[in-house]
Amino acid sequence: MRNIVVITLSSILVACAYNLLLIPHEILSGGLSGIAIMLGIITPLNTGVLNLLLNLPLLILGVLKLGKRFIGYTILSVVVLSVSLYIIPVYKATQDPILASLFGGVIVGLGLGMIFRAAGSSGGFDIIAMLLSRKRDFPLGTLISAMNGIVVAISGFVFSWDAALLTLVSIYATGKVVDTIHTSHIKLTMMIITSKGEEVKQQLLEKLHRGVTIMDAKGAYSGEGRKVLITVITRYQLADVKAMIKEADAKAFVNILQTTEVIGVFDRGIK
């Protein structure tokens, strides 16, 4: 229920950024939403209707390639975003196109980042980026920005190159905010030194579902035996793992390092 509420509110937030900041200045967003915005400006069709129609093929791909929960959340996001674009009036919230581009991109990135954190997506290029990020440890926002070059080019030819540059600013801001919020591509290595190795191991194996390596150790000062547990997790899992360790051994010593790369079997799921 929490994810559904987050996705619903975040999708409405993205629609507000489109209709109040980007569309009035003919600034496009990234991906299929940007194409829908462009078609909505140059044709009498509503942007929300176009966004829904353009996303249908990729939603079908998502059903085939991604989990039911993920694609269910994505369908929810696409529907809420499309309906919100249809209902929310287009209004120029600021007369400055640069401010509209920058803050529009930031607000869109905030909304998309929260949708990703809730295990969904807003459809379009996001589905393709999510598929790629599950195979490799690429930052999701960077992937989305890379695929949006064509949208910038289209904006330049259809509107003006000033509009294309403002679109580029918007897309860049969106990508940076998404990477700040959605951090599942960041991996952490945890070294846990504890006198209750078996209890900590059980907590990690039962609730974390990650591989754990255990080594014997001895305290240099006390001479007492210890267990050293090493595991690699995603940034999202850190708070949960801390709680697990504290529950098993409140006196455990934990060293946390950011991992540059993981080679071998590692689940690159959303969380």
Name the more confident of 123 and 202: 202
Q: Using CA atoms, how far apart are residues 84 and 106, in angstroms rounded to an integer?
A: 19
Residue 265 lies in a domain: no
Location of structure tokens 């937030």:
13
Of 122, 157, 182, the domain-final residue = 182
Residue 160 lies in a domain: yes
Residue 245 lies in a domain: yes
Domain co-membership, 106 together with 171: yes
Domain co-membership, 232 together with 250: yes
Domain with 234 in it = 187-259
Domain co-membership, 108 together with 56: yes
Residue 267 lies in a domain: no
Mean pLDDT for the chain overall:
82
Domain co-membership, 100 together with 68: yes
Of 182, 211, 238, the domain-final residue = 182
Residue 2 has a pLDDT of: 85
Residue 271 lies in a domain: no
Q: pLDDT grade, residue 270 (50/70/90)?
A: very low
Residue 162 lies in a domain: yes
User: By three-state DSSP, how is residue 250 classified?
Assistant: coil
Domain co-membership, 134 together with 169: yes
- Half-sphere exposure in the Cβ direction for 25 (13 Å, CA): 29
Domain co-membership, 115 together with 233: no
The domain tally of the chain equals: 2
Longest CA–CA span in the chain (Å) reads: 78
Instruction: Read off the tokens for 157.
Output: 């030819």
Is residue 130 scored above 80 in pLDDT?
no
Domain co-membership, 160 together with 34: yes
Domain co-membership, 167 together with 222: no
Residue 269 lies in a domain: no
Window from 23-32, 120-129, 148-157 with minimum mean pLDDT: 120-129
Domain co-membership, 38 together with 71: yes
Of 144, 166, 182, the domain-final residue = 182
The answer to whether 140 touches 148, Cβ cutoff 8 Å, is no
CATH code assigned at 250: 3.30.70.120
Domain co-membership, 46 together with 133: yes
Residue 148 has a pLDDT of: 74
Which amino acid, one-letter code, is at 83? V
Is residue 232 scored above 60 in pLDDT?
yes
Domain co-membership, 91 together with 106: yes
Q: Using CA atoms, how far apart are residues 141 and 163, in angstroms rounded to an integer?
A: 22
The gap from C-alpha 264 to its chain's centroid, in whole angstroms, comes to 24
For residue 112, which of 155, 171, 167 has the smallest C-alpha distance?
171
The percentage of residues in the chain with a pLDDT greater than 90, rounded to a whole number, is 25
Q: Using CA atoms, how far apart are residues 166 and 25, in angstroms rounded to an integer?
A: 9
Residue 54 lies in a domain: yes
Residue 184 has a pLDDT of: 59
Domain co-membership, 105 together with 137: yes
Residue 271 has a pLDDT of: 42
265-268 contacts: CB < 8 A, separation 24 or more? Answer: 265/211, 266/187, 266/232, 267/209, 267/210, 268/133, 268/134, 268/135, 268/136, 268/137
What is the tens place of the pLDDT at every residue in 4-42?
999 999 999 999 999 999 989 988 877 778 888 888 888
> Which residues sit opposite 233 in a β-bridge?
188
